[in-house]
């Protein structure tokens, strides 16, 4: 209950602040955001788009952790936790891709540019897709759990290449690319204090949201499983 209240308050703050706080030339009041050249009002996407992309990776991480745990314990509940995280992950992955793509149309001129970061989110989408394709191909429960766990671990060890290395060594449009003059971690780019505050609050809120959704999801998967086994 306490977590839900915290989540509600944080999300409320992020939604109100992220959408309604004005972007002005020279911020004077505490609630004003500075203008970022080339982005203007469109800079606000960072409060919602980046957290969804972040959740995609977090969900993938959680899914892999429980895959490893499954291989150790052979407990099907761990498999349910892993698949639950992956299901939420693919949802946020689609959200991040679509929001980013719409935004790119208005700021960079086309829906898709094969910028390295766009490539990497597309790759994640493919991995999630392949993961579910593999799961649907196997009938036997234990075999399905073991093979999909192995696959998600293999996919996870190759992911760093395109999530963390490639966007930084290749030239691209996103902040933090090789040809970006701000050169530095993505979050340090020209944001002032209150923008950072909203951004990091948003990250925290979305992370809590993920863990809440994940808990509900794996519980429902486990219950569903138990119900079908009792009836049949």
Chain residues in the site for another protein (CB under 8 A): 71, 119, 123, 126-127, 129-130, 133-134, 137-138, 142-143, 146-147, 149-151, 153-155, 157-158, 161-162, 165-166, 169-170
Distance in angstroms (rounded) separating the CA atoms of residues 85 and 129: 14
Q: How far is the CB of 84 from another protein (least distance, A)?
A: 21
Q: How far is the CB of 170 from another protein (least distance, A)?
A: 8
Q: Check the CA dihedral 204-207-208-209 and report its sign.
A: positive
Nearer Cβ to another protein (125/186) = 125
Nearer Cβ to another protein (23/138) = 138
What tokens were used for 76?
Answer: 């099907």
67 by Cβ neighbours in 10 Å (0-12 / 13-18 / 19+) ranks as buried
Please count the residues of the chain. 232
Nearer Cβ to another protein (5/179) = 179
Distance in angstroms (rounded) separating the CA atoms of residues 228 and 232: 6
Q: How far is the CB of 125 from another protein (least distance, A)?
A: 9
Q: How far is the CB of 202 from another protein (least distance, A)?
A: 29
Nearer Cβ to another protein (41/142) = 142
| Of residues 115, 71, 102, 91, the one with CA closest to residue 206 | 91
């Amino acid at each position: 209950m306490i977590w839900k209240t915290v989540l509600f308050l944080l999300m409320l703050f992020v939604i109100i602040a992220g959408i309604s706080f004005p972007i002005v030339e020279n911020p004077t009041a505490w609630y004003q955001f500075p203008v970022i050249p080339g982005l203007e009002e469109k800079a606000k996407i960072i409060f919602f788009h980046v957290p969804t992309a972040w959740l995609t990776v977090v969900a993938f991480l959680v899914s892999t952790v429980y895959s490893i745990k499954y291989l150790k314990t052979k407990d099907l509940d761990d498999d349910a936790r892993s698949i639950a995280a992956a299901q939420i992950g693919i949802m946020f992955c689609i959200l991040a891709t679509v929001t980013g793509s719409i935004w790119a149309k208005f700021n960079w001129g086309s829906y898709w540019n094969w910028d390295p970061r766009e490539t990497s989110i597309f790759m994640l989408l493919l991995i999630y897709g392949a993961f579910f394709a593999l799961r649907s191909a196997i009938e036997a429960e234990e075999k399905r759990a073991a093979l999909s766990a192995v696959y998600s671990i293999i996919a996870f060890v190759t992911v760093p290449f395109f999530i963390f290395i490639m966007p930084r060594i290749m030239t691209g449009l996103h902040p933090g690319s090789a040809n970006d003059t701000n050169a530095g971690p993505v979050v340090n780019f020209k944001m002032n204090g209150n923008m950072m505050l909203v951004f990091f609050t948003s990250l925290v809120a979305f992370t809590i949201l993920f863990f809440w959704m994940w808990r509900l999801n794996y519980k429902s998967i486990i219950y569903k499983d138990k119900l079908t086994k009792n009836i049949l």
